[in-house]
A and B are shown apart, each in its own frame.
Chain A
Amino acid sequence: MRALRSVGELDAARAALRDQRRLDRPCITICSGTGCHALEGGKVYEAFEEELRKRRLGDRIGLKPTGCRGFCERGPIVVVRPQGILYQRVEAGHVPDIISRTVLKGEIIEDLLYVDPTTGEKAVAMGDMAFYRGQERVIMGDNDELNPGDIWDYIAIGGYGALGKVLTKMTPSQVIEEIKLSGLRGRGGGGFPTGRKWESCRLAKGEPKYVICNADEGDPGAYSNRSLLEGNPHKVLEGMAIGAYAVGSSRGYVYVRTEYPLATKNVQIAIKQAGELGLLGRNILGFGFDFSVKVVSGGGAFVCGESTALMASIEGRRGEPRPKYVHSVTRGLWDKPTSLNNVETWANVPLIIERGAEWYSQIGTIGSKGTKVFSLVGKINNTGLVEVPMGTTFQQMIYNIGGGIRDGKKLKAVQIGGPSGGCIPSHLMGMPIDYDALTQVGSMMGSGGMVVMDEDTCMVDIARYFVNFLKDESCGKCTPCREGLYQMAEILEDISAGRGTGPQLELLQQLADVMRDASLCALGQTAANPVLTTVRHFKDEYESHIHDRKCPARVCRGLIKYSVDPGKCTGCGRCLKVCPEDAIKGEKKKPHEIDPARCIKCGACRDECKFDAVLKV
């Protein structure tokens, strides 16, 4: 590849590509995100490759791996262009048929279409599906068109145009002004105004300055950053280059969590390709602006998502946070001014520059502009990544886009914001999702995990889960967080085992207050949110555990019992064979019985039973 030496050369290259990569040509695209890949999408891709080669169609029909389309529930997803026919749950065996019938003859294979779980209607294209119709995919939409490993794909759809615009037409202060006007706030969770952060960093004294992309997406239940970085790494890099120009930095880092090997690989490839084309590195597009990016892979520590801990980790130290009275915009990485932003924040930047702050600020609510990508997961029909304008209600998310609760169950709560967030009960589902509304109900935006919980979810168990999670992940540097979480975990363990007492609820509240006021970083300060919101909204469940010694959702092991319904049991003996403790007795063809003294409540018998004869009470 020859480096592009000016914006004119970039535009000329783009114009030449447009013709070559027209969307109206026949092309088969396959989602290559982690979700589809885990569902053996790689095999489907290989099958297409093989079949096209065998039939000598390779030069007539394109084949392209793309970024994540977000509909992970129904993967692997294949879209046949130009018609845009979407096939779901495709297997390698379907490939010859797709080529013969759909690609060559334009027929639709009904069996591979998506069927709406509520209306029963079949959808042919993305636009026909409620899952996509309710979204506004200004960030994620590009994933559908791009092969993440090919920079020219990104350039063809306008990529690096915003960087060109900034270099030719805008001063750094104008860039900052534009970002401020747009109302963009940090997508990592805190929601700090991005433009203000950049301005402080620009004004801070000290050289060199750094920009960092925080891709340490540790919140359990969130994976939107991963899919963006895997599917569209150049958009993130372009955003970083624009940010670097604005704050006066020439060095950037992308800190990727170690659990995301594909994201690491794709961003490394992207950096190399952009470097070869002169879009990163020295003298970018001939403007004398230098910016190089290095990828740092994390070590598997949740706390490293906290900005100062992340910087410590890049410096090769333990990822421990430090107090916030020194801001990292003035003294961050290596004690130099640093602007750290989340993956999604960076991805918003080229869009704002390209289309303008005015356009951008029309999306969303008064205090929260633009869109937000959520990972909609848990007990919901359409799990996947969803991008909606800020201010969309939970109701819309769950019932229109998400297709409702699985197995016809009832919604109980939505957990948002990861371990720092909270559980929002079903009666508040009409509220708009934005930074301020979430804070008001004791939760926070977080990085966009949205875990849907149904009536079979125990809220005490959820609180216990998050506290245990954080207890393991607390770095241990400050006492309130380290000891507070330990004590909270003990109390919740007691309650869920049926040993809880009334005053313990009071104690939880007191611990929460101390942790919020005295912890060093946000991990400890917000750690009590899952406990506080569940106590606030689901007090009756705590009381059942404490006073009645009952777990209403039948989750907490210390409070449930397994038994056999003699009316349903056929005496087939399957449960007897799987029981690890030999706790089940019974003669063949006669109802079996579970010995409660030996039963460890593992649920293996219930999974194995074909007649629903094992009861959980």
Chain B
Amino acid sequence: MNETDISKIDSMIDRYNADKELLVSLFKEIQAKFGYLPQDALSRVSERLGISMGQVYGVATFYKAFDLRPRGRHRIGVCLGTACHVRRAEEVLQRVERELGIRDGESTKDMQYSLRTVNCLGACALGPIVMIDGEYHGRMTSKKVAELLKKHRSGKVGT
């Protein structure tokens, strides 16, 4: 991390007034800025807030919203909530894994896509649901998701 990045982190910490209560919110902001939580950023937080690295990592690894590694440009979420599960979401997930050649939690080599399963997106009436960059695509099947990915790759949806 260079000095400009460190100063960006510093200004975020300042904005949160070094308030430990808002550690989760601070991490969210760092992640929004860098796409993940860089190690240097975590060290800086630990130093400035006066909390141990153990505690910092404890929080960073506890919540699913945080990544300790960079993620792909487009984020694909496959909902595995109960309503999606009974409508065969697992087949949808496996198709996505096959099409992208990655497993849940991984990113493609070209860093275009990362894949993550979600335990429930809360749009259960439309299950199975696949989310690409925050946009919901409902009533998926193994076949429809393959078409969706194809369209996305060629820039026809949501890029």
A35 within 8 A of B: yes
A300 near B23 with CB under 8 A, answer no
For the complex, what is the distance from the CA of A384 to the CA of B124, rounded to whole Å?
8
- Stretch with Cβ within 8 A of B (4 or more), from A123-131, A241-249, A255-263: A255-263
Selected A-B contacts with CB under 8 Å, 29 pairs: A35-B125, A38-B138, A72-B126, A75-B125, A217-B122, A218-B119, A220-B85, A221-B124, A222-B120, A222-B124, A223-B122, A259-B118, A260-B122, A296-B25, A299-B62, A299-B63, A301-B63, A313-B24, A316-B20, A316-B21, A317-B55, A378-B83, A384-B125, A457-B86, A462-B85, A472-B119, A578-B143, A602-B98, A608-B143
Say which residue of B20, B86, B118, B138 sits within 8 Å of A39 (CB atoms): B138
Chain A interface size range: 35 or more
**Which residues of chain A have C-beta atoms less than 8 A from B95's C-beta?**
602, 604
Instruction: Please indicate the chain A residues that have their CB under 8 angstroms from the CB of B75 in the complex.
Output: none
Report the minimal beta-carbon distance from A311 to chain B, rounded to whole angstroms.
11
Given known contacts A375-B124, A377-B125, A378-B87, A302 and B119 CB-to-CB distance under 8 angstroms? yes
In chain A, positions 570-617 with a C-beta closer than 8 Å to chain B are: 578, 580, 602-604, 607-608
Q: With A261-B134, A299-B63, A316-B24 given, is the CB distance from A451 to B122 under 8 Å?
A: no
| A383 contacts chain B at the CB level, 8 A cutoff | yes
Counting from the closest, the 10 A-B pairs by CB-CB distance are A299-B63, A72-B125, A300-B64, A220-B81, A38-B136, A316-B23, A221-B82, A220-B120, A377-B83, A223-B122
Would A258 and B120 be within 8 Å (CB), given that A379-B86, A607-B142 are in contact? no
Number of A-B contacts (CB under 8 A): 151
Q: A515 an interface residue at 8 Å Cβ cutoff?
A: no
Smallest CB gap from A604: residue in B: B142
Residues of A within 8 A of B (CB): 34-35, 37-39, 72-73, 75, 217-223, 226, 258-261, 296-302, 313-319, 375, 377-379, 383-384, 415, 418, 449, 451, 453, 457, 462, 465-466, 469, 472-473, 475, 578, 580, 602-604, 607-608
A464 → B minimal CB distance (Å): 10
A466 to B66, CA, bound (A): 24
Query: At the interface, yes or no: B155 with Cβ under 8 Å from chain A?
Result: no
A220 x B82 contact (CB < 8 A): yes
Contact B142 A603, beta carbon cutoff 8 Å:
yes
Provide the residues of chain B in CB contact with A475, threshold 8 Å.
62
Residue numbers in B under 8 Å from A39 (CB-CB): 126, 138
Closest to A580 in B: B98
A603–B120 CA distance with the chains assembled, in angstroms: 23
Which residues of chain B are near A451, meaning CB under 8 Å? 82-83, 86
Tell whether, in the assembled complex, residue B22 and residue A316 are in contact, meaning their CB atoms are under 8 Å apart.
Answer: yes
Chain A residue contacts of B134, Cβ below 8 A: 261
Interface residue count on the B side (C-beta < 8 Å): 47
Contact partner, B66, options A217, A299, A314, A608, Cβ 8 Å: A299
CB distance from A573 to the nearest CB of B (A): 16
Q: Is the CB–CB distance between B123 and A317 below 8 Å? A: no
Chain B 82-138 residues near chain A, CB threshold 8 A:
82-83, 85-88, 91, 94-95, 98, 118-127, 129, 134, 136-138
Instruction: State which residues 11-43 of B face A: CB under 8 Å.
Output: 19-25, 27-28
Query: Is A377 within 8 A of B127, CB to CB?
Result: yes
Q: Which residues of A contact B24 (CB under 8 A)?
A: 296-299, 313, 316
- Closest B residue to A257 by beta carbon equals B122
Q: Given the complex of chains A and B, what is the CA–CA distance between A301 and B59 in angstroms?
A: 11
For B98, the closest partner residue in chain A by CB is: A580
Complex contact A258–B21 (CB within 8 A): no
The residues of B that contact A378 with a CB separation of less than 8 Å are 82-83, 86-87
Contact present for B80 and A220 (CB under 8 Å): yes
- Apart from A298-B65, A469-B119: 9 A-B pairs, beta carbons within 8 A: A222-B124, A297-B25, A297-B28, A300-B65, A377-B127, A451-B82, A453-B86, A602-B98, A607-B142
B47 to chain A, nearest CB (A): 16
Query: Known contacts A34-B136, A299-B24, A379-B87; is A319 also within 8 Å of B62 by CB?
Result: yes
Q: Nearest Cβ in chain A — how far from B23, in angstroms?
A: 4
The reply to whether the CB of B58 lies closer than 8 angstroms to some CB of chain A is yes
User: Chain B residues with Cβ under 8 A from A465's Cβ?
Assistant: 82, 85
State A540–B64 Cα separation when bound (angstroms): 38
A469 surroundings in chain B (CB, below 8 A) = 80, 119
Q: Give every chain B residue within 8 A of A319 (Cβ-Cβ).
A: 62-63
A259 touches B58 (CB 8 A): no
Is there an interface contact between B21 and A473, defined as CB atoms closer than 8 Å? no
Contacts of B143 in A (CB 8 A): 578, 604, 607-608
Return chain A residues, CB-CB under 8 Å to B64: 299-301
Inter-chain contact A219/B98, CB cutoff 8 Å: no
A222–B154 CA distance with the chains assembled, in angstroms: 35
**Considering the chains assembled together, what is the distance between the CA atoms of A608 and B27 in angstroms?**
44
Which chain B residues lie closer than 8 Å to A453 at the CB level? Answer: 86
CB-based contact B21/A318 at 8 Å:
no
Residues of A within 8 A of B129 (CB): 38
Set A223, A259, A578: member contacting B124, Cβ < 8 A: A223
Residue of A nearest to B129 (CB): A38
B60 shortest CB reach to chain A, Å: 9
Are B123 and A34 in contact, CB atoms less than 8 angstroms apart?
yes
Chain B residues with CB under 8 Å of A377's CB are: 82-83, 124-125, 127
A469 to B83, CA, bound (A): 13
User: Which single residue of chain A is at the shortest CB-CB distance from B125?
Assistant: A72
Within the complex, the shortest CB–CB distance from A320 to chain B, in Å, comes to 8
A299-B138 contact in complex given A316-B23, A379-B87, C-beta closer than 8 Å: no
- Known: A220-B83, A451-B82, A602-B94. Contact between A317 and B125, CB under 8 A? no
CB–CB A38/B126 < 8 A: yes
Question: Can you name the residue of chain B whose Cβ is closest to the Cβ of A454?
Answer: B86
Residue of B nearest to A385 (CB): B125
A476 nearest in chain B by CB position = B62
Tell me the bound Cα distance from A44 to B18 in angstroms. Answer: 45
Contact B123 A223 (CB under 8 A): yes
Cα distance A73–B19 in the bound complex, in angstroms: 44
Give Cα A384 to B136, complex, Å: 17
A356 CB to closest chain B CB, in angstroms? Answer: 33
